[in-house]
């Protein structure tokens, strides 16, 4: 009974120490984690290295994963870059095994743990108004608790050594490694930390009672079992977060299965590396630390050739409707090599964006819409606009024909005006609502009809469009001026409050802005619309 309590207490101290160490280091680092993730993930190699270094620093792959997910959600980090941070995090998390093998099981750290904890708590208390000092103190206290737990676990497993020796596990055949694989998975899932599970396994091997191959199988299981954290973290999360978590799961399972199939060669390679590093290969915890690192490095090497396909596969998982809208349907990186085709694809994509945006705005302004419009598609339309801009930026890095150079400014302005219609439409339906009596009547019907007409342009060439532009905009301006005059007169006569008048006038002004932005978007795109059917018109539109 006492042995079970000792094991439970050691595990508890170890997990508490790990938690305090991680949180303290994150607090002490300030914005360092954010800055490194923003600036050091632009290539696969840099993402891999930054993920490994950050995880080794904060002693938590979960912290790095959560930060990475946050950057993906914010659009500051693409999934293609984020997966390499995740892969690097798996390498960085092996630092815990090295700490246990080199320090926790070599020195009588338990004798120094209590003073370390005391100094850490004191620094944390004195630095309450200085986050970095407080974080450093918390990390120091966690460091002491971490090794105090290791010391207690080491003593408990030494008591269990005679029992291990009676089991003769080395003669158990294939089922013993498989059983320890499952044991490692369960242990990591329960502890929600592969580092904790691996530390327990390393401590159990320190007395020599656990065969190295079985301990190695347990380490593989711990690496697979830690994916449960990603599964729990992604429950109810955004699609981007789920894809990042899925990359973590795929990597750990892929590398774990490969390592288990190569279990005995990898153990032999760990012995060889231990001898090469002038380390006693009979030092089983240290050999297992090498094995753990080798396991994760092997996973990166094996997945590297397939990383691009993995990212493409992940992009099609958990796709939200907004993301389907936001993905270009007519643009492809290969088009950039042929500027004429790229221009055609850009025109088609902007036409698609315009159709989506105008349909959304029309639904908001339609008198048949009695309930608030669900604008969830706005994010997708705006994302599509950014994707088109990104394509234009990539296209502009090469020499371009004169017609394409002439077209690009108009296309960029067209995107901007389309986004204006979305923003103004959202403001109309989601902003403060004026009294219904002030937004109804013949004048408002005329304004609404004029705005809706601008969302359905029929002209096919620039000359015809100019006539339509002037006619439709004049109709909207006349209706707007009539509403403005009536509202001001009613407020001056005291028939309506000034606040109600201003709210109604703001709605009319926004409806006019929708019409103006829609017509400008169409005017900018109209000269280049023939490109979509194979005929290029190079005359730029006149300013209005």
- The CATH number of domain 322-533, selected from 1.20.58, 3.40.1000, 3.40.50, 3.30.1050: 1.20.58
In the chain, where the domains are located: 2-315, 322-533
Residue 376 backbone phi and psi in degrees, to 5 = -60, -25
Mean pLDDT computed over 10-15: 66
Q: Are 83 and 120 in contact (CB under 8 A)?
A: no
Question: Does residue 385 have a pLDDT over 80?
Answer: yes
Q: Which helix (H) or strand (E) holds 213?
A: helix 212-225
pTM of the model: 0.57
Give the whole-angstrom CA distance, residue 219 versus residue 284.
13
Phi-psi region of 238 (alpha: psi -120 to 50; beta: other; left: phi over 0): beta
Give the whole-angstrom CA distance, residue 85 versus residue 73.
15
Give the whole-angstrom CA distance, residue 444 versus residue 450.
10
Which residues are CB-contacts of 324 (< 8 A; sequence separation ≥ 6)? 380
- Positive/negative CA dihedral, 48, 316, 78, 72: negative
Whole-number pLDDT of residue 177: 85
- Of 236, 227, 240, whose CA–CA distance to 317 is shortest? 240
Give the whole-angstrom CA distance, residue 33 versus residue 26.
8
- Of 433, 452, 257, whose CA–CA distance to 366 is shortest? 452
Confidence of residue 408 (pLDDT cuts 50, 70, 90): very high
Give the whole-angstrom CA distance, residue 311 versus residue 319.
13
Instruction: Write down the residue that tokens 């024909």 correspond to.
Output: 401
What pLDDT, in 10s, does the model give residues 26-45?
A: 565 555 555 555 566 667 77
Which residues are CB-contacts of 436 (< 8 A; sequence separation ≥ 6)? none
Give the whole-angstrom CA distance, residue 388 versus residue 472.
28
DSSP conformation class of 316: T
Token digits of residue 241: 């977060």
Confidence of residue 14 (pLDDT cuts 50, 70, 90): low
Give the whole-angstrom CA distance, residue 373 versus residue 429.
7
Confidence of residue 432 (pLDDT cuts 50, 70, 90): confident
Whole-number pLDDT of residue 78: 72
């Amino acid at each position: 009974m006492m042995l079970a309590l000792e094991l439970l207490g050691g595990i508890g101290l170890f997990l508490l120490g790990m938690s305090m160490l991680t949180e303290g280091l994150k607090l002490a680092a300030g914005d360092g984690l954010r800055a490194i993730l923003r600036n050091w993930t632009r290539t696969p190699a840099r993402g891999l290295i930054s993920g490994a270094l950050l995880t080794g620093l904060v002693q938590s792959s979960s912290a790095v994963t959560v930060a990475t997910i946050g950057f993906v959600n914010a659009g500051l980090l693409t999934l293609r870059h984020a997966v390499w941070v995740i892969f690097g995090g798996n390498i960085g998390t092996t630092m815990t095994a090295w700490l246990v093998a080199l320090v926790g099981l070599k020195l009588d750290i338990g004798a120094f743990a209590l003073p370390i904890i005391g100094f850490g708590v004191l620094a944390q208390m004195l630095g309450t108004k200085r986050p970095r000092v407080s974080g450093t103190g918390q990390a120091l206290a966690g460091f002491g608790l971490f090794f105090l737990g290791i010391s207690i676990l080491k003593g408990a497993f030494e008591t269990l050594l005679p029992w291990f020796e009676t089991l003769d596990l080395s003669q158990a055949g294939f089922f013993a490694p498989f059983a320890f694989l499952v044991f490692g998975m369960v242990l990591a899932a329960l502890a929600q930390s592969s580092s904790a599970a691996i530390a327990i396994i390393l401590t159990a091997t320190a007395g020599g009672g656990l065969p190295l191959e079985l301990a190695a199988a347990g380490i593989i299981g711990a690496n697979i079992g830690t994916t449960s954290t990603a599964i729990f973290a992604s429950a109810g999360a955004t699609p981007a977060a789920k894809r990042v978590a899925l990359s973590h799961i795929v990597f750990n399972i892929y590398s774990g299965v490969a390592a288990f199939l190569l279990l005995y060669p990898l153990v032999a390679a760990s012995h060889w590396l231990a001898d090469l590093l002038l380390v006693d290969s009979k030092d089983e915890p240290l050999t297992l630390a090498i094995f753990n690192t080798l396991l994760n490095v092997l996973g990166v090497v094996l997945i590297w050739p397939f990383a691009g396909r993995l990212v493409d596969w992940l992009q099609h998982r958990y796709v939200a409707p907004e993301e389907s809208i936001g993905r270009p349907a007519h643009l492809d990186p290969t088009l950039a090599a042929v500027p004429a085709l790229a221009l055609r694809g850009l025109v088609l994509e902007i036409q698609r964006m315009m159709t989506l945006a105008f349909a959304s705005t029309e639904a908001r302004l339609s008198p048949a819409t009695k309930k608030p419009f669900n604008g969830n598609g706005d994010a997708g339309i705006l994302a599509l606009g950014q994707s088109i801009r990104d394509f234009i930026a990539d296209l502009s890095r090469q020499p371009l024909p004169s017609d394409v150079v002439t077209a690009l400014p108009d296309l960029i302005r067209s995107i901007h005006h389309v986004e204006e219609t979305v923003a103004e439409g959202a403001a109309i339906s989601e902003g403060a609502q004026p009294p219904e009596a002030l937004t109804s009547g013949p004048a408002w019907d005329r304004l609404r009809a004029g705005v809706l007409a601008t969302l359905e342009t029929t002209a096919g060439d620039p000359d015809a469009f100019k006539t339509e532009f002037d006619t439709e905009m004049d109709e909207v301006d006349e209706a707007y001026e009539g509403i403005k005059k009536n509202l001001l007169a009613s407020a001056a006569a005291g028939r309506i409050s000034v606040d109600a008048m201003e709210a109604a006038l703001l709605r009319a002004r926004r409806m006019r802005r929708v019409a103006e932005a829609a017509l400008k978007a169409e005017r900018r795109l109209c000269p280049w619309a023939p490109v979509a059917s194979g005929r290029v018109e190079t005359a730029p539109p006149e300013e209005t």
